[in-house]
Amino acid sequence: MRWQGKSTRKYTSGRIISARSKKRFELGGDEANTHLGETIRKRERTLGGTIKMKLLRDSTVIVTDPKTKTAKKVKIQTVSGNPANIHYIRRNILTKGAIIKTELGVARVTNRPGQEGSINAMLIPDQ
């Protein structure tokens, strides 16, 4: 978990003395780090009582072909690129913008699987 409150430093690098301590509602949640594997989802209550589905593992993706405007559910073979972190490629972690190899070809993940509970991707032409 990560604290997401204001910084304790000014832009001049001077220190700000806070009038109160850190609060629990300012904590961020744990990273989902969606991997390849058998589907595992986790329900999490957010501020306000809404339920957020976190996708921890999945092996299928809904791929949209921009030319034919059709979507199809296919298996993910591997993660071949990830702009978020180069080490995520080796660990097969899926985030938004990750490049994946599927049965239909190479695709880019267009949603946030750790926040939304599913994986959507768009086929990349000429690869």
pTM to 2 decimals? 0.81
Give burial (CB, 10 Å; 0-12/13-18/19+) of 76: buried
Q: Is residue 45 part of a domain?
A: yes
Percentage of residues in the chain with pLDDT exceeding 70?
98
CATH of the domain at 56: 3.10.290.70
The residues, ordered by sequence, that sit 6+ positions from 9 with a Cβ below 8 Å of its Cβ are: 15, 16
pLDDT tens-place string over residues 47-70:
899 999 999 999 999 999 999 999
Are residues 98 and 108 in contact, defined by beta-carbon separation less than 8 angstroms? yes
Q: Is residue 61 part of a domain?
A: yes
Q: Is residue 28 part of a domain?
A: no
Count: domains in the chain: 1
Q: Is residue 68 part of a domain?
A: yes
Are residues 57 and 71 in contact, defined by beta-carbon separation less than 8 angstroms? no
- Mean pLDDT, the chain, integer: 92
Give the pLDDT of the chain (127 residues) as one tens digit per residue.
688 888 899 999 999 999 999 988 888 888 899 999 999 999 999 889 999 999 999 999 999 999 999 999 999 999 999 999 999 999 999 999 999 999 999 999 999 999 999 999 999 987 6
Q: Is residue 66 part of a domain?
A: yes
Q: Amino acid identity, residue 69?
A: K
Compute the distance between CA of residue 35 and CA of residue 23 in angstroms, rounded to an integer: 31
> Which residues form the domain of 42?
34-123
